Amino acid sequence: MKSMNIEIQTSKTPWVDPGTREQGLIFSIQAHSVHDGPGARTTVFMSGCPLKCVWCCNPEGLFNQPVMLHSDVKCVKCGACIAACPHGAVSLQDGVLTFDRSLCNQCGTHECVDACLHEGNVISGKWYTINELMRVFERDRMFWGSKGGVTFSGGEPLMQKRFMLPLLKKCKDSYIHVTIETTSHLPSDYFMDAIRYVDWVFTDIKHMDPERHRELTGVDNRLILANIRRMGEADWWQGIVVPRIPVIPGVNDSEENIRESAKFVKSAGLEVINLLPFHRLGESKYRQLGRRYPFVDMKPPQQKHMEHLQNIVQSEGLYAFVGHETPF
């Protein structure tokens, strides 16, 4: 994992809030999202994450500042960005345009983006004020239907604490249905304060073994499990919790781990697990960030295997849904 040049952030490293009180850093807004909560939704992808999962499909969301993505498909090798970069970070090596990411990922000026006439270099991450976001929501809410709303995803949507708390409050005041897709790896007081304004929570259980969890994500799972349990027990809260397990072949898809996860969910007073089969859709983003994608050769889990895992979850007395085949 070190070879992948990811800084491992453990639970002991200080928490970095990429946002400010005025502005949040957002790397994508997706209208008509249909698999991120009930109804049709507008999904907002917030930058920054306390976890570094090796299979992450949104690696551009791991950054705490806007980051440059380079598309080799669109690049015409004209060299304009080599000339434009004041840091000498761009070079042509053996016919391949190479970016020194130790410099690029710190860059705040992105001259290479301005110089490119082919959308070969683009910036991921844009600052929004609460009012700007609310204007998007007001436009979109006609389309959500009676059940839809806003989903905050990421990254970790609650990472930008100073921005998110007032934003969530504002959504609640505006009668907007709010879903979050969270790691649950956040200080418990803040976490429980935030979900007060949330109607629906998707939260991952990536592995039940704390050490294995740390190996895979950079943090152990104790805080996560504790927070999930807190949500299950919060009788003052009128929300829904749907734990999700990203099923990564050979990583966390053993019968034992799935059964343990199901037992935990049951014990937390929750009723359902959504099993999400691994996919490789994030692969191109790794290339655009100049990173090696560790799962080039990994195939999504077999349908039969998913059925088997679904049966295990059900045998523990829970509802189990696979992928997008859900009633929401």
Residues that bind another protein (CB under 8 A): 29-36, 39-40, 42-43, 78, 117-118, 139-140, 142-148, 231-242, 269-272, 303-304, 306-307, 310, 319, 321-328
Q: What's the min distance (Å) between Cβ of 272 and another protein?
A: 5
Q: For residue 206, which of 164, 264, 157 has the smallest C-alpha distance?
A: 264
Provide the H-helix boundaries in the chain: 80-84, 101-104, 111-115, 130-140, 161-173, 188-195, 210-217, 222-233, 255-267, 283-288, 303-315
Question: Nearest approach, Cβ of 48 to another protein (angstroms)?
Answer: 20
Place of tokens 């294995």: 212
For the bound state, the minimum distance from the C-beta of residue 239 to another protein, rounded and expressed in Å, comes to 6
Distance CA 162, CA 47 (A): 13
CB-nearer residue toward another protein: 1 or 76: 76
- Closer residue to another protein, CB minimum distance, 144 or 191: 144
The residue (of 39 and 210) whose beta carbon lies closer to another protein is 39
Sequence-distant (6+) residues with CB within 8 A of 142 are none
**Nearer Cβ to another protein (9/58):** 58
Pairing relation of β-strands 121-124 and 126-129? unpaired
Beta-strand relationship, 200-204 and 240-247: parallel
Comparing CB distances to another protein, the nearer of 40 and 134 is 40
Minimum distance from CB of 134 to another protein (Å)?
A: 14
- Neighbour-count burial of 61, counting CB atoms closer than 10 A to its CB (0-12 exposed, 13-18 middle, 19+ buried): buried
Name which of 144 and 220 has its Cβ closer to another protein: 144
Please, what is the Cα angle at 117 between 115 and 120, to 5 degrees?
90
Query: CB of 223: closest distance to another protein in angstroms?
Result: 19
The CB-of-257 to another protein minimum distance in angstroms stands at 18
